[in-house]
Amino acid sequence: MNTLIVYASTHGCTEKCAHKLANQLPNSPTVANLKKNTRIELNDFETVVIGGSIHAGRMQAAVRKFCQKNLSQLKPKRIGLFVCCMEENEKAQQQFDEAFPTELLDQAIAKGFFGGEFDFDKMNFVIKAIIKKIAHVDHSVSKIAEDEISKFAAKIANPTAS
């Protein structure tokens, strides 16, 4: 079973999570950053996992564009979807539901909330100021949900899941 994990990452959290997921899946999945690799041959993969981070309440443009551009090719695949965000509960669910096309949400065999990070070392002054004001956080914080990544990996690794 050939698996592709595609993602977009701004400050590195989604990249970390994509690689943590890849390390828990069999057969060495291909991992591709949509901001660096714009030509991806989907015909080579049976399973496609798509992930990104939420910034200002929205999924990154690279992920949204990838999903829309490739929607017809993605529909027959086994799909997994994940987000990295610092929100929880209903707010996180709302952001997740708005991040991906309904067709992919309906067919996804795995959906994951992998937590998030505020990495102040990777943020510019303006982003730091916004985070301090909105999230009331003044230092780096990591809330990556290792257990959620493991549960997601178990669903993706099961070839009979559909």
Q: Which residues does residue 55 pair with via DSSP β-bridges, in sequence order?
A: 58
**49-80: pLDDT as tens digits:** 999 998 777 888 999 999 999 999 999 999 99
Q: How many CB atoms lie within 10 A of CB 11?
A: 20
Give one DSSP letter per residue of 96-116, joined into a string: HHHHS-HHHHHH-SEEEE---
CATH of segment(s) 3-157: 3.40.50.360
Which of 25, 14, 23 lies closest to 110 in space, CA to CA?
25
**98-121: pLDDT as tens digits:** 999 999 999 999 999 898 766 667
pLDDT at 161 > cutoff 60: no
State residue 107's pLDDT score: 92
State residue 64's pLDDT score: 94
Q: Which residues does residue 82 pair with via DSSP β-bridges, in sequence order?
A: 51, 112
Which sign does the torsion angle of CA 32, 34, 36, 41 carry? Answer: positive
- What value does the CA radius of gyration of the chain take, rounded to a whole number of Å? 15
State residue 136's pLDDT score: 67
